[in-house]
Amino acid sequence: MPLPPRWLRRIVLAPGVVLLALVVISALPVWLILAAAASPLVPGYLRPLRVLWLAVIYLAWDAAAVLALFGLWLASGFGWKKRAPAFQRAHYRLTGWFLTFLFWQAQWTLRLSIEVVGTDPDTAVPGRPELVLCRHAGPGDSFILIHALVNWFDREPRIVLKHTLQWDPAVDVMLNRLPNRFIAPGHDPGEAMIEQIRHLATGLDEDDAFVIFPEGGNFTPRRRLRAIDRLRARGLEEMAVRAEGLRHVLAPQPGGVLAALDAAPDSGVVFVAHTGLDRMVTVTDVWRELPMDKRIVMRFWSVPPEEIPAGRQERIEWLYDWWARIDEWVDANRNTPV
Render pLDDT for 135-189 as a digit per residue (tens, 0 to 9).
987 767 888 899 999 998 899 999 998 899 999 999 999 999 999 999 876 555 5
Nearest Cα to Cα of residue 201 among 269, 250, 298: 269
**pLDDT mean over 119-123:** 53
Measured in Å, how far apart are the chain's first and last C-alpha atoms? Answer: 39
95 within domain boundaries: yes
145 within domain boundaries: yes
Q: What confidence score (pLDDT) does residue 88 get?
A: 95
58 within domain boundaries: no
Sign of the dihedral through C-alpha 253, 265, 212, 309: positive
pLDDT at 321 over 70: yes
292 within domain boundaries: yes
Sign of the dihedral through C-alpha 147, 152, 156, 161: negative
45 within domain boundaries: no
pLDDT at 324 over 60: yes
Q: What confidence score (pLDDT) does residue 123 get?
A: 47
List, for residues 275-318, the tens digit of each pLDDT value.
Answer: 877 666 666 666 666 656 677 888 999 999 999 999 999 999 99
Q: What confidence score (pLDDT) does residue 147 get?
A: 92
Q: What confidence score (pLDDT) does residue 121 get?
A: 52
150 within domain boundaries: yes
List, for residues 199-212, the tens digit of each pLDDT value.
Answer: 999 999 999 999 99
Rounded Cα–Cα distance for residues 123 and 300 (Å)? 11
Share of the chain above pLDDT 90, in %: 64
Q: What confidence score (pLDDT) does residue 258 get?
A: 96
- As a three-state string, the secondary structure of the chain is CCCCCHHHHHHHHHHHHHHHHHHHHHCHHHHHHHHHHHHHHCCCCCHHHHHHHHHHHHHHHHHHHHHHHHHHHHHCCCCCCCCCHHHHHHHHHHHHHHHHHHHHHHHHHHCCEEEEEECCCCCCCCCCCEEEEECCCCCCHHHHHHHHHHHHCCCEEEEEEEHHHHHCHHHHHHHHHCCCEEECCCCCCCHHHHHHHHHHCCCCCCCEEEEECCCCCCCCHHHHHHHHHHHHHCCCHHHHHHHHCCCCCCCCCHHHHHHHHHHCCCCEEEEEEEECCCCCCCHHHHHHHCCCCCEEEEEEEEECHHHCCCCHHHHHHHHHHHHHHHHHHHHHHCCCCC
* 14-28, 125-139, 149-163, 183-197: least confidently modelled range: 183-197
The domain in which residue 269 lies consists of 84-333
Q: What confidence score (pLDDT) does residue 338 get?
A: 40
Average pLDDT value for the chain: 88
- Number of compact structural domains in the chain: 1
318 within domain boundaries: yes
Cβ atoms 336, 275 nearer than 8 A: yes
List, for residues 31-64, the tens digit of each pLDDT value.
Answer: 999 999 988 888 777 888 888 998 999 999 999 9
**Choice between 324 and 128, residue whose per-residue pLDDT is larger:** 324
* 66-80, 100-114, 144-158: least confidently modelled range: 100-114
List, for residues 230-275, the tens digit of each pLDDT value.
Answer: 999 999 999 999 999 999 999 999 999 999 999 999 999 999 998 8
Long-range pairs for 24-28: beta carbons < 8 A, 24 or more residues apart: 24/56, 24/59, 25/56, 25/60, 28/56
Backbone φ and ψ for 69, nearest 5 degrees, come out as -70, -35
105 within domain boundaries: yes
